[in-house]
Amino acid sequence: MNTLLDVKKLSIDFKTSNGIVKAVEDVNFKINEKEIFALVGESGCGKSTIAFSLMRLLAKNGMIADGNIYFKGKDVLKLTEKEMFSFRGKEIGMIFQNPLDSLNPVMTVGGQVLESLLLDNITREKAWQKVIEVFEDVRIPDSKERIKSYPFELSGGMRQRAMISMMISRKPLLLIADEPTTALDVTIQAQILKVIKRLKDEFNTSVLLITHDFGVVAETADRIGVMYAGNLVEMGEVFEVFENPLHPYTKLLMQALPTISKKEGRLVTIPGMVPNLINPPDGCRFSNRCPQKKDICTKIKPDFKEYPQEHYCSCHLEVQ
Amino acid sequence: MKKSRMKKVFSNKYFVVGLLISLSIIICAIFADVIALHPYDEINLINKLQKPSMTYYFGTDMYGRCVFSRVIYGTRIVLQVGFIVTAIQLLIGVTLGLLSGYYGGSVRRIISFITDITWSMPSIVMSLAIVTILGPSLTNVVIAIALVGWAQYTKIISAKAQTLKNLPFIDAARVLGESDFNIITKYILPNTINQIIILVTLTLPTAVLSTSSLGFLGLGAQPPAPDWGVILAEGIKFLRPAPWISIAPGLSLLFVVLGFNILGEGLKEILDPKYGS
């Protein structure tokens, strides 16, 4: 399998009035062609920051402090601003959490997809035909009529489909899905996930799925990366990680998942707080909450090491 | 679908009434030659200060000129000034507003500094100053009012653009590879249409009133131009024996200002994409 996206030693800083927030530090991962890679972690752990950095669309106070992003072998960080305009949308698309706000309220949904298609210098007529095609690709019923609808006339699920169709209209190789199902009810969630999986099967699109829902991950993803406080702590095949979690954080997360079979009344939680990222602790960022903390954990930052089954983890596991 | 939309548009009472008033003014301006009974500057001293009658609908002034004809010809000045001033204000105000709201930072700081300075000066005094420097004429009045009044466009459009640019659909546009120019013109500008229309309906009548005020003070259009402010000023001296000279242009001003405001109210409702559904 060929590597599509290769992120190496990525660190992202945000300048704030309180100091520099080290939002993402030393993150390494790869996404192969035709693969759904899930990035999970709690709010504020840097998932979306990574997503935006892939397209170099960080907020003004954010900057990529270190590392490289290779897409199809090209160094994304070395592209000129002009090259970025044709890179975005054409090579990488992105769908957002809130489907209503992600569509221009005063433009018909078809018109918005058309806008994106016209960036490729094709005729309006051809573009309209393509709009109907992509609407059919994401299973929007009655697509010839729906292209004339305004976002407010559509349901949440339909809007999310319209959003997806806008982002895949130029057939990008990688689709970033930033919590695509969070705002939707379960039935619609299942439908949207089906659409995303079909994109992979029919158009060979790779997907970077950002979520905090393990159910969604188990349903769709091939590989998973677990993030904690700006670090990627564990990565591997979905079932390998689910069956055999190595990092204490992942283990605790798995225990915290509510299951129907468990009889206990209370949900398991992880005690403690995420450390302040302006002055992150030396050593492992999870050390203050870790039940298996050793002396070394507060002093030396663990490396992101490879374990059998292409399973990666950053923890001082072998130190007793 | 189109037909039902037209039907909805014309079932809006504000819009219809406002449109009728505005159209009547535009028709008066275009067909002034036909509607007016006399040329606006035809002096007829024998018939001076005549009461309104069938020959002189609004009576005559101290030179025996037909007030009705003068008011009708005055609509030309009103519309010209109103539209030119509004167009210039729109161009300056909206452009600066979009730039400052979208880019923020130092762009915003510089633009709001200029805006605040313009904003802080009393508009009529400022126009007076500009006209005094440039000399009294209608063109200079247009320049003066336009330069004084754009600030409110900038303030409001900038605030709106600032909220809009943080919405996910702007991120979405960026992700799609749209340039800043496209984002501003295709995504932000169309979403400010409501604000712009409200502002136009506010500034258009203000522009008309300011022109008349400057005309009234003798700094705008010069006699014998049939500017409503000029007519009003001339009539003031004869307010007791011939009140119609001042009442006619005064009521006309009221009519125009009201008409544009009502039209704006209607347009605001219609242009909302949620209207009627």
pLDDT tens by residue, B22-33: 899 899 888 888
Query: What is the arrangement of strands in the sheet containing A311-313, beginning at the earlier edge strand?
Result: A92-95, A174-178, A206-211, A36-40, A223-228, A231-237, A311-313, A305-307
More confident residue, A200 or B202: A200
Q: What confidence tens digit (pLDDT) does each residue in B228-246 have?
A: 888 888 888 888 888 888 8
More confident residue, B275 or B159: B159
Q: Find the residue in A nearest to B182 (Cα).
A: A115
Q: Tell whether A93 lies on the interface with B, counting CB pairs under 8 A.
A: yes
Give me the mean pLDDT over the A111-126 stretch. 89
A141 by Cβ neighbours in 10 Å (0-12 / 13-18 / 19+) ranks as: exposed
CB spacing of B176 vs A93 below 8 angstroms: yes
Q: Is the dihedral of CA A288, A294, A300, A301 positive or negative?
A: negative
pLDDT at B170 over 50: yes
CB spacing of B169 vs A87 below 8 angstroms: no
Q: Hey, what are B257's tokens? A: 């200002």
A296-to-A22, A46, A313 alpha-carbon distances in Å: 22, 25, 16
CB spacing of B273 vs A94 below 8 angstroms: no
Q: pLDDT at position B61, please?
A: 77
Q: pLDDT at position A273, please?
A: 84
Residue A310: count other Cβ atoms within 10 Å of its Cβ: 11
Interface of B with A (CB under 8 A): 1, 104-105, 167-169, 171-179, 186-187, 190-191, 193, 273-274, 277
How far apart CA A58 and CA B227 sit, in angstroms, is 56
- Find residue A12's DSSP bridge partners: A24, A64
Q: Find the residue in B nearest to A51 (Cα).
A: B175
**How close, in Å, is residue B170 to chain A by CA atoms?**
8
B187-to-A106, A205, B267 alpha-carbon distances in Å: 8, 28, 20
pLDDT at B1 over 50: no
Q: Tell whether A237 lies on the interface with B, counting CB pairs under 8 A.
A: no
**Nearest-by-Cβ selection for A90 from B171, B177, B179:** B177
Residue A51, C-beta contacts closer than 8 angstroms, at least 6 positions apart: A39, A94, A176, A178, A208, A210
Q: Which residues does chain A have within 8 Å of residue B105's beta carbon, measured at their own beta carbons?
A: 60
More confident residue, B8 or A217: A217
Q: Find the residue in A nearest to B277 (Cα).
A: A153
CB spacing of A97 vs B168 below 8 angstroms: yes
Q: pLDDT at position B107, please?
A: 93
B180-to-A114, B168, B175, B266 alpha-carbon distances in Å: 18, 15, 12, 32
ipTM of this predicted structure: 0.80
CB pairs under 8 A between A and B: 74
How far apart CA A254 and CA A251 sit, in angstroms, is 5
**How close, in Å, is residue A221 to chain B by CA atoms?**
23
Q: pLDDT at position A37, please?
A: 94
At A313, is the pLDDT very low, low, confident or very high (cuts 50, 70, 90)? very high
Give me the mean pLDDT over the A165-173 stretch. 88
Residue written as token pair 């506010």: B202
- Highest mean pLDDT of the ranges A268-272, B12-16, B96-100, B134-138: B96-100
pLDDT at A263 over 70: no
Q: pLDDT at position B2, please?
A: 55
**Nearest-by-Cβ selection for A106 from B176, B273, B277:** B273
Q: Which residues does chain A have within 8 Å of residue B274's beta carbon, measured at their own beta carbons?
A: 152
CB spacing of B176 vs A86 below 8 angstroms: no
CB spacing of A105 vs B179 below 8 angstroms: no
Q: pLDDT at position B50, please?
A: 74
Q: What confidence tens digit (pLDDT) does each residue in A67-112 have?
A: 999 999 889 999 998 888 888 888 998 888 877 788 998 889 999 9
Q: Find the residue in B nearest to A148 (Cα).
A: B1
**How close, in Å, is residue B160 to chain A by CA atoms?**
14
CB spacing of A115 vs B178 below 8 angstroms: yes
Q: What confidence tens digit (pLDDT) does each residue in A47-63 have?
A: 889 999 998 988 888 89
CB spacing of B172 vs A85 below 8 angstroms: no
How far apart CA A119 and CA A89 sit, in angstroms, is 9
Q: Hey, what are A252's tokens? A: 């605790």
Q: pLDDT at position A208, please?
A: 94
pTM of the model as a whole: 0.80
**Nearest-by-Cβ selection for A101 from B1, B169, B274:** B169
**How close, in Å, is residue B89 to chain A by CA atoms?**
24
Q: Find the residue in B nearest to A103 (Cα).
A: B169
Give me the mean pLDDT over the A200-209 stretch. 90
Residue written as token pair 């009140």: B243
Q: Tell whether A168 lies on the interface with B, counting CB pairs under 8 A.
A: no
Q: Tell whether A157 lies on the interface with B, counting CB pairs under 8 A.
A: no
**Nearest-by-Cβ selection for B274 from A57, A152, A170:** A152
At B68, is the pLDDT very low, low, confident or very high (cuts 50, 70, 90)? confident
CB spacing of A88 vs B273 below 8 angstroms: no
A123 by Cβ neighbours in 10 Å (0-12 / 13-18 / 19+) ranks as: exposed
